[in-house]
Amino acid sequence: MSKANQRVALSKRLLKEGLMELLKKKTIHEISVKELCEVSEINRTTFYRHYQTPHDVLLEVEYYFMKGFQNTPASFNDIADLKKHATRMCSYLFESRDLVKLFIQNNTDSDIPLIFQNSMDGFLTSRKVLYRGKDMNADAFRLLQTFYAHGGYALIRQWIIDDIPLTTEEIVDLLIGLANQNFSII
């Protein structure tokens, strides 16, 4: 890595660390560029070379966090594969819960349900899904995927925000149990 690239990486790291420190006390909308630069000990000119607002820094933090979900299998063979994948995803969110809380508190967590939906797509599209013993049409199926992606994330979000003392395995069992209550996945 060249010296210039090292300086850029150091500047960005310091800004991200400074932002994380400030977000423990205030929301992203209450943080000014001046304040972030002071905490990070970075010149404002350097800040503006890389970002326009503190929110841009937060979005970059979220982008790299979301890359942790990229190892999603294209398809799952059975419920055990889905459970293993859901456990990995929930563990990742739980282990990073302080960061996830910051995303939630600053309304930058909107991409997380989409990752859940993409995961479910890989599992459900290769199977026949029955609702109360009957076939589902394509529109109902799409709504089902959205419901479980966003509903599942809402459950996980509440678990993290409220520090509910359930294990990752208990959360995954709850999610899969809820899905299996009204639907048969063949």
pLDDT tens digit at each of 186 positions of the chain = 687 789 999 999 999 999 999 999 999 999 999 999 999 999 999 999 999 999 999 999 998 888 876 665 555 667 777 788 888 888 999 999 999 999 888 887 777 777 767 766 666 665 566 666 677 787 887 787 788 778 888 899 999 999 999 999 999 999 888 776 655 555
Three-state DSSP state, 73: coil
Q: Are 36 and 19 in contact (CB under 8 A)?
A: yes
Non-local (6+) Cβ contacts of 177 within 8 A are: none
Beta strands in 24-178 (DSSP E): 129-131, 134-135
What pLDDT is attached to residue 37? 97
One-letter identity of residue 117: Q
Token reading at 152: 């599942």
What pLDDT is attached to residue 88? 87
| Residue 75, CA distances (Å) to 25, 47, 142 in order | 42, 42, 17
The DSSP letter of residue 11 is: H
pTM attached to this predicted model: 0.79
- Distance (Å, whole) CA 183 – CA 186: 10
Which residue segments constitute the domains of the chain, with CATH numbers given? Answer: 3-58 (1.10.10), 71-185 (no CATH)
